[in-house]
Structure 1
Amino acid sequence: MFQLSFISILRPSQPVTMRLSNLHLLLICVVSEFLGVNIFLKGFFPVKKAVEGYATFHYLPNEPYGSATTDEGFASDNEPDIGIAPVRPVFGRLVVVLIDALRADFVFGERNHDHMPYTRALLSRGATRSFLARAHPPTVTMPRIKALTSGTIPGFIDIVLNFDSVALAEDNLISQMHRQGRQLFFYGDDTWMKLFPGHFADADGTTSFFVTDYTEVDNNVTRHVRPALSNPHWDALILHYLGLDHIGHLGGPTSPLVHPKLQEMDAIIQTIHEAVTEQDKSLVLPTLIMLCGDHGMSDAGSHGGASNSETITPIVFISSAFKQVEGAVRPHPDEVYQIDVAPTLSLLMGLPVPQNSLGVAIPMMLEDNLSARQHLRALQLNSHQLSQVLKQNVDSFETDEGYVAYQRAVRFHSTWLSHTATSSSIDSQVISRKAMMQYIKSMRLMTDKVASSLARYDLHAMGIGLVLMWLVLCLLGYGISSLTSPTDVTSDLKLSILLLSGCCLATGITHVTLCTASGGATSEMLCAPSDEARVWSVMLVLLSGSLAAILLSALTQVGRLQQFFLSFSHISRFETFVLVGTISHTLSLASSSFVEEEHQTWYFLTLTVTLATFIHATASVIGHSSDKMATKVAIATATALVISRLLRAWNQTGIKWADQPDIGDWFVRPENKVSLSFVTALSFVIIYITRCFMRPNYKLLAALFGAYLYRYATGSLNLPIPFPSSQKGIHEAWVVYSLVFISLTHFVMRYTRCLYSLRSMSKGECINGPESDLLTTKPKNQVPPTLGHILEELCDIHIMLMALLLRPHNSCIIAMSVLLQHCIVGMVLPWLQMRLWAVTLVHIWMGQAAFFAQGNSNSIATVDISAGYIGMSSYIHAIAGLLTAISTYAGPILWLVRLLIYITEHHHNSFLSAIEVSYTLAISRALPLAIYTVLVTLQRYHLFVWSVFSPKLLYQTMNTCIVSGGMMFLLVHCGIVRWSMHDKHR
């Protein structure tokens, strides 16, 4: 990266210098930024390491009354036989019917009483025990299965690992049953087969990510139900149905497909219940059926966030052993935690409680099925297991409130055992009730304590990540201030070597000191005695030291920095507002409310700058009535204001008003399908007409028609006449993909020919954008296309993908965005004559406003993963991820492409302009990342750290990747153009 100056070698009388060009500095900063963010994320989202091993019945505490330890068939803890449970099992077999994305109101809601009539009838006659189970974020499938089976709280980073599940190493209910030789059958989401390989005697998995299939994915499960039930050798039958979740991703909880799907699930519950009820007549122990969901469903149909509709799911236990009590369905069942399922099922089925479980056995389930003595023994074992987890995670556990309450509960338990034979039944009940309540209280306290201690941040790694990001921010600030200097960052060679050595040495000493400091928590990532940790340490020490040396060398040139800051005294009012608005937005991220409602900030900024331009243009028209350009700008800004207001009202997002009805909600209602079809068709027409102002493109017209036919094939839209369609629109989607590929190939060919034309000075192929002003005297049909016009095909390609991937009601978002670009970029920005950095920031503002206008937010729940499976007949991880990213960031990408075209069209020296734009883009991401990571570090114990701050951190990282990709494409494009133009004029 450093270059030895040849001039200094040829002139030995001058000092030897080191030179770092602005481009090299920019590339170093981009790479360092990604490394810094990566290190910070690894420290902030550490992958929780499970304590290996499995719980057994060895070394369990005796009942707190010696002579009673072997009564009622309990195993004495002095006996090594682990096959005898301390609590007699109540149920012999288990059936789990897990319906993915089953919301609580689908089962218990008064408005949805006809969704599952058989289940509702069981609830009404008291043949069930029902609860509301609250899940911990993130509400995605793999972490929720972990919670249900192991009783542990998965980390937030599991939302990423959800896409690539690996075997569960922690102790869990499934492994306990497998270790005892019980036969487990499984059918459904193949995530279970990845988490528990080799555990199932019979299994058939289906992929959970192919969301456009909601029929076959469930039929593949149901076809196994009757054969499995007729098999006398199963001990546990697990069915994981995915269809409801897929319907939610496609159409939301109000989709007309929800009702028939839930009735289908209800029929399966009836089949299972009737079969096991008949079989229980000949069994020693009855069968327990558990109907549950892994997570809920947001009002938009997705999940992953922390709203009640996503975190609260129903749990319905059904068994012939339950005493039936006639009565209406309770409108508000008791609330438990999802992690409570694991210890509850373990104790009722005679299994050891998973050793890392943080769950508390559900009191009603124990009370209804166990005698008083067994009930207390079960609570004692659950409390003992939690106390062991407390000891592993809390240093001063002896004085912890939960542990003290546990000891008090044991004393009550001992008192009850000692006086059961002599005391009256009333006294005995009072003492036993006190013991039970004290056990439950102690377990809740210990669970809360351990859960809070699990957030163990790697502060060392986070600190190094912060240092890298702040060094990058400072260097980018210096780099953009020195763009006009040909010498860039220059210093004496000996001084540079001295600075580099000193900074690396200081960084290394600091790192070693922190790793070896006694009493401090060392970093597992950077301080562990492993080759990986050593490589990371050496690389980060050298990188941090090098960046610090470059910064110190740059700071010696104070005059250039002073000149840069003085240049801001001459900026216009519009440029001042753009600069202040960008900084203010970054500072607003310190508030959780501003993070939740970030869309309001972007809407305010974009509307304000548009309104100010309208006022300025109107004043110019009034003062100079002959100013035709000002008149056009006034009309354009007025149109932009109307469009921006519609965009703001189209999709309610954020948290506070997300549940309020909006225009998009009205169009997605089943009864408004005709209106949605008309608006979608009209939007596509507007898109094509507007794009024809740039250049006619019949491939775009065909792609828009193909996108409409795809939605018609999937049932989202209507056609006035019948039209043949493929199953699930796969063929129609591939027509659009083919047109995208053809357009991309055509673009590459035209682009290559254009560059060759510029290099060889041939006529008629294309011209550089700014040179078109010299050819205004020629007829329009004789003017060669500009390079910017050729780049317009990139914009068309992205619009093709947007039309296919975005949901039908968001087709209006595409049309309005295209119109807005025509108004803002085509008329307003050239008239305002702002500096290039301000123009770049305006494009970023518009892209962020478009991101939220699509219905996105800072919650994972608003990510529309269904876009990743359009036109796919099987799940391909890379393609699904790419399509989902394009769909989610469609708005920002559209404005980045427009920025590329703007630079090519309006700036003669496009490469220098590209470097300035790239620095601006890099700073626009480095500034919020550097400040936000500091805020997240300070707020790491905040109540909303996992529901608000952490998702935003992931969005910030992904946004940085998108912007960096656009920046690199811009640099490569302008570099190639510069090379071509250089050869042309050489």
Structure 2
Amino acid sequence: MSSSLTCTKLTLFTIAGVIIQTIGLSLFVYGFFPVKPALSGFSGPESFRAPTCNSAHNQSERDLPPDQLKALYEELSGIPSFDRLVLMVIDGLPAEFVLGKDHQPPSKALMEAMPYIQSLLANGAAIGYHAKAAPPTVTMPRLKAIVSGAIGGFLDVAFNFNTQALLDDNLLGQFLKFGWKMVMLGDETWLKLFPGLFIRHDGVSSFFVKDTVQVDQNVSRHLVDELSRDDWDLLILHYLGLDHVGHIGGRNSILMAPKLLEMDEVVKMIHTSIIMNQENGQGETLLVIVSDHGMTENGNHGGSSYEETDSLALFVGLRNRISDYASYNLNTVSQVDIAPTLALLFGVPIPKNNVGVLISGTFESFTDDQQLKALELNSWQLLRLLQAQLPGLSCENSPCDSFSHDQGSRKSKCNGNMEIVVCCLYRNAAVLHNSWKSKDVSRSYSREDYSSIVAAYYEFLKTASEWLSRRVTDKPVNLLAFGVAAMLLSCLILLCLIFHICKEFYFRETQHFDSISGKYTWNLAETFILGVMLILVISMGSSSMVEEEQYIWHFVTSTLDLLLLRKTMQSLPAGKSRSSFRLYNGTKKIGFQMCSIFVLVISGRTLRGWHQGGVNWTYLPDISKWLEHAGSNYIKFIRLTSGLLMITLCLFALSLLGLRRKLVVVVGFSFLASGLLVLQHVMLYQENAFVSSSCSATLWVQIIFAVLGIATIGTFMALPWLMPICESKMYSGHDSHMSTSVPIEIQKKYPLLELKDSLFVTGWAYMFCWCLLQLLLQQSINSVPILLLLVQIFAIMIYSSYWGLHHKQWVEIAALYYLGMAGHFALGNSNTLATIDVAGAFIHGYVHLNEGHKLSRNSSECRFWTSSQDYACISLSSSTGREFHSLDCIHRCIAVDEESSICLECLFPKVPVCLCDNCVRLYRCIFCGWNHDLFIYGAGPPEKDAGLLWY
């Protein structure tokens, strides 16, 4: 048969589409995740001088020994500096725990949990600030912001799991040039950011969130010894326990108050040992207590809500005594403001890429000239950064240099583009400051003059900082447009290929389809599925719809279930038979189908009400909150019951093959043993979730993993070979499974149908293993949703098994995909990083498996549903006697490949690359189709009526 679409043309078009798709994706990704503009190198003595076009780096000054360099910096800055720094990082501590919220002090319980810190604040010995952190609120980019003053991008979320050395200008690098000796105790992220920088260190992993005790004791055990030493200049203490408490039990955990009290005791020890004993010859020491981020009510973080971005900045040991305690504790600064503040307090240059602004309250003890000098140095640094990013401010075009030497005292209004505005604001501050310096000689200045200079400097600093902060998230529109255009072109090529493939397959033998001419007519359910695609595309254009995407999937799933129920009821015979199914007289399959749909609807509604997901409505009541309020005993009982029902359902599914198959009995027994081990783990260790990281619990989990791994891998590898492929025995009519009901002519035509039984067992083995894993990795409250997801799989397979020859497989795939997405949100997930639960991923001692468990836990239902789609197609083909042709292979590949994109969506917020994702997936499916046909062709020549798709 001649074909307009030959293999050569198909190959060329496919390769062209893939290349265009790759180019478009590259352009789009480069535009969506732009490289952050940054200045290379480290700041030096030039940072203490005004920026000019003629200024050049004096290498001889940079190469000075540490003591001489420090003296030079003190001479240039004119600001007295501290000698030692204790930087205490309390991971995940919300500022409102210490400073209160909305002009209200912290609750009585929180104040009683931190009595010493509250006394320092009340007596004016400490200054506290709400330091707003920029998203993503995860540890590594927040630490970078604290030490460099730069705002990270979204890609730092990925780097948080594989931290690389920080090469940009930062405080620790500046301290090293001073000859400082540094010690780090706590989170090993510091060791990865600054390898080889510390003379002593004791790092702990930040991801073993089940550990809330030892992770902090590893830090505190060195504290007495380190505080008595005088061989360090910077001591970093990074406590992780409070963040771990939040991940396990949320803000209201019973362990939160004891952990806060423990941190309070550490602060008391540091303050009484060093800060209050400054006469020991070690110089002035400053204690800075910060947190990298806050936490939600559930204890998670990563998003941009107030609870997640509300971090703490507490300065203890400043020379000034704060009389107005309340006024300072209500102040809000940016987390990046910590870097320039510490740089000027310790006399080092401000990091080059800093976008922060000086925290004014920390310089109250300095003279007016010293405070103005600090503001001037901060302004010079931001002006240099603006010159690197604004073409109008380059040396060739900058109008700012002349302004800085203007000795007039007139302040002008600032209007126009960004270059003009920042130059005008800088000029106003420089003019007033120069006027101040001239008046300072005659002592003719007033307090109002000083206040106006400070206000002018802060107006420039705030404007420049806000623009530079926004600049980090700016995206080049041209790259995005070209990328999207290339992906659209690739989509058109894809659609043309799919159209020709379907046309060639479905209509190559027109006489074969004459008797079933109505087979491919469209019904309401199929039209609805295509409409859903348009709905999803439109909804992704709204940030609110992305935040509350779960409502779309629950609505789509419920609507599709009702449409399938309508279709099933329309197939009922007319007349009296409409009132009775007559299950044993020809309408048995309709009864099974309707029961399956009712199961889908009821379970779907239960899943919908289990968690109030999304971003804006999580506080509303739901089933999970009601059960948590009822107590852990109820949750434990429900978890055990769900586990038993899972085991029963899976064994029942395997029993459909018949007990005479000994291999199936062995597989069922192995997974029964695995399930009982999981239930035993629940009974032993759920009562107190905070000790589930003990040695015995870890060993028990490792045993479960080993048994599950052996059972699953053994089933996958051995079953297709050990299950006999003997046509005369396998199709004797005694098998109760649906695949044995295939007509004799189909059996003769396809001698490899026995392979489907092994795939049936392998598929259920994989799904059962996945369910057992989720009982370990998921929160205890999610045991029922996991059971309901398995029930839905079973129901949709029963329904599709009776769908008949007129069924389109892409409808089944769409139904499974909808159920999978609805299940994803039913487990409490959302499109924000804050719902990524890391607590369940770290329940054993193998570090290299933890990230895989995290992916498994947060994308479990997506992988669960997509893995079931391949089996569903096999089950359908078995029940109807349909061929395993290449278009079926494409359907199954689409289902399995859907998994990769869903898993990424589970871990990262949505980005508009859906077109690219779908196209790459479908192009891969075409190649899979070729491989499938080659396999069938090599296994044996097909019958004429079931010829290959391309040949």
TM over 0.5, yes or no? yes
Count matched residues.
855
Contact 2:47 2:349 in 1 (8 A): no
Which of 606, 617, 634 lines up with 1:657 in the alignment? 617
Pick closer, same or farther for the CA change 1:406–1:635 going to 2, 3 Å: same
Q: Distance in 1 between matches of 2:774 and 2:15?
A: 30
Task: Give the match for residue 55 of structure 1.
Answer: 43
Contact 1:910 1:974 in 2 (8 A): no
Task: Give the match for residue 415 of structure 2.
Answer: none
Task: Give the match for residue 61 of structure 2.
Answer: none
Task: Give the match for residue 563 of structure 1.
Answer: none
Which of 717, 727, 731 lines up with 2:699 in the alignment? 731
Task: Give the match for residue 914 of structure 1.
Answer: 888
Task: Give the match for residue 370 of structure 2.
Answer: 374
Deviation at 1:291, TM superposition (A): 1.1
Task: Give the match for residue 602 of structure 1.
Answer: 553
Task: Give the match for residue 413 of structure 2.
Answer: none
Q: Distance in 2 between matches of 1:17 and 1:956?
A: 27
Pick closer, same or farther for the CA change 1:710–1:469 going to 2, 3 Å: farther
Task: Give the match for residue 41 of structure 1.
Answer: 29
Query: 2:821 aligned with 1:862, yes or no?
Result: no
**AA partner of residue 889 (structure 2):** I
Matches within 5 A, 1:421-500: 422=442, 428-455=446-473, 457=475, 462=480, 465-484=483-502
Q: Distance in 2 between matches of 1:969 and 1:298?
A: 45
- CA deviations 1:908-963 (Å, max 9, x no partner) are 3224343341575599899999xx99xxxxxxxxxxxxxx9982129969987998
Query: 2:208 aligned with 1:210, yes or no?
Result: yes
Pick closer, same or farther for the CA change 1:979–1:647 going to 2, 3 Å: farther
Deviation at 1:84, TM superposition (A): 3.0
Query: 2:821 aligned with 1:848, yes or no?
Result: yes
Pick closer, same or farther for the CA change 1:901–1:968 going to 2, 3 Å: farther
- CA deviations 1:322-366 (Å, max 9, x no partner) are 415386x67962110000001111111111111221110101112
Task: Give the match for residue 774 of structure 2.
Answer: 802
Deviation at 1:79, TM superposition (A): 13
Task: Give the match for residue 89 of structure 1.
Answer: 80
Contact 1:103 1:314 in 2 (8 A): yes
- CA deviations 1:408-454 (Å, max 9, x no partner) are 01111222233346566xx6110100000110110011112222333
Q: Distance in 1 between matches of 2:44 and 2:603?
A: 65
Pick closer, same or farther for the CA change 1:446–1:800 going to 2, 3 Å: same
Query: 2:255 aligned with 1:257, yes or no?
Result: yes
Task: Give the match for residue 641 of structure 2.
Answer: 682
Q: Distance in 2 between matches of 1:718 and 1:255?
A: 12
Query: 2:672 aligned with 1:701, yes or no?
Result: yes
Q: Distance in 2 between matches of 1:725 and 1:744?
A: 25
Q: Distance in 2 between matches of 1:42 and 1:631?
A: 54
Contact 2:379 2:457 in 1 (8 A): yes
Unmatched runs of 5 consecutive residues or more in structure 1:
1-6, 9-14, 65-77, 491-558, 560-565, 934-947
Query: In structure 1, the residue corresponding to 2:113 is in which secondary structure?
Result: coil
Deviation at 1:155, TM superposition (A): 1.5
Deviation at 1:24, TM superposition (A): 9.4
Contact 2:211 2:693 in 1 (8 A): no
Deviation at 1:35, TM superposition (A): 6.8
Contact 2:25 2:916 in 1 (8 A): no
Task: Give the match for residue 851 of structure 2.
Answer: 881
- CA deviations 1:668-689 (Å, max 9, x no partner) are 45x7111110111111122222
Matches within 5 A, 1:318-337: 318-319=316-317, 321-323=319-321, 325=323, 333-337=330-334
Q: Distance in 2 between matches of 1:85 and 1:983?
A: 87
Which of 795, 809, 821 lines up with 2:793 in the alignment? 821
Deviation at 1:28, TM superposition (A): 8.1
Task: Give the match for residue 661 of structure 2.
Answer: none
**AA partner of residue 169 (structure 1):** L
Pick closer, same or farther for the CA change 1:651–1:699 going to 2, 3 Å: farther
Query: 2:741 aligned with 1:772, yes or no?
Result: yes
Query: 2:638 aligned with 1:641, yes or no?
Result: no
Query: In structure 2, the residue corresponding to 1:400 is in which secondary structure?
Result: helix
Pick closer, same or farther for the CA change 1:103–1:974 going to 2, 3 Å: farther
Matches within 5 A, 1:140-219: 140-219=138-217
Pick closer, same or farther for the CA change 1:162–1:216 going to 2, 3 Å: same
Which of 340, 343, 348 lines up with 2:345 in the alignment? 348
Contact 1:107 1:115 in 2 (8 A): no
Q: Distance in 2 between matches of 1:150 and 1:317?
A: 18
Query: In structure 2, the residue corresponding to 1:46 is in which secondary structure?
Result: coil
Q: Distance in 1 between matches of 2:942 and 2:155?
A: 52
**AA partner of residue 736 (structure 1):** I
Contact 1:716 1:808 in 2 (8 A): no
Deviation at 1:966, TM superposition (A): 11
Contact 1:106 1:115 in 2 (8 A): no
Q: Which moved more, 1:443-452 or 1:787-796?
A: 787-796
Question: Structure 1 length normalisation: TM-score?
Answer: 0.78
Which of 797, 810, 815 lines up with 1:837 in the alignment? 810
Q: Distance in 2 between matches of 1:968 and 1:769?
A: 30
Task: Give the match for residue 579 of structure 2.
Answer: 625
Which of 561, 565, 575 lines up with 2:526 in the alignment? 575
Unmatched runs of 5 consecutive residues or more in structure 2:
53-68, 101-105, 394-398, 400-418, 511-516, 584-588, 656-667, 748-753, 945-951
Identity of aligned residues (%): 27
Question: Structure 2 length normalisation: TM-score?
Answer: 0.81
Q: Distance in 2 between matches of 1:286 and 1:316?
A: 17
- CA deviations 1:508-527 (Å, max 9, x no partner) are xxxxxxxxxxxxxxxxxxxx
Q: Distance in 2 between matches of 1:208 and 1:664?
A: 28
Task: Give the match for residue 360 of structure 1.
Answer: 357
Q: Which moved more, 1:972-981 or 1:647-656?
A: 972-981
**AA partner of residue 706 (structure 1):** L
Matches within 5 A, 1:279-428: 279-283=277-281, 285-319=283-317, 321-323=319-321, 325=323, 333-366=330-363, 368-397=364-393, 398=399, 399-420=419-440, 422=442, 428=446
Deviation at 1:472, TM superposition (A): 3.5
**AA partner of residue 40 (structure 2):** E
Deviation at 1:312, TM superposition (A): 1.3
Q: Distance in 1 between matches of 2:897 and 2:525?
A: 19
Pick closer, same or farther for the CA change 1:661–1:128 going to 2, 3 Å: farther
Pick closer, same or farther for the CA change 1:882–1:243 going to 2, 3 Å: same
Q: Which moved more, 1:301-310 or 1:728-737?
A: 728-737
Contact 1:133 1:313 in 2 (8 A): yes
**AA partner of residue 804 (structure 1):** L
Q: Distance in 2 between matches of 1:799 and 1:352?
A: 56
Query: In structure 1, the residue corresponding to 2:357 is in which secondary structure?
Result: coil
Deviation at 1:716, TM superposition (A): 5.2
Deviation at 1:201, TM superposition (A): 2.4
Query: In structure 2, the residue corresponding to 1:586 is in which secondary structure?
Result: helix
Deviation at 1:841, TM superposition (A): 1.1
Deviation at 1:612, TM superposition (A): 3.2
Query: In structure 2, the residue corresponding to 1:377 is in which secondary structure?
Result: helix
Pick closer, same or farther for the CA change 1:615–1:960 going to 2, 3 Å: closer
- Alpha-carbon RMSD across the aligned residues, in angstroms, is 4.3
Contact 1:46 1:157 in 2 (8 A): no
Task: Give the match for residue 751 of structure 2.
Answer: none
Q: Distance in 2 between matches of 1:700 and 1:390?
A: 63
- CA deviations 1:165-186 (Å, max 9, x no partner) are 2221111111111101122211
Task: Give the match for residue 752 of structure 1.
Answer: 720
Contact 1:896 1:966 in 2 (8 A): no
Query: In structure 2, the residue corresponding to 1:482 is in which secondary structure?
Result: helix
Deviation at 1:283, TM superposition (A): 4.6
Q: Distance in 2 between matches of 1:279 and 1:707?
A: 55
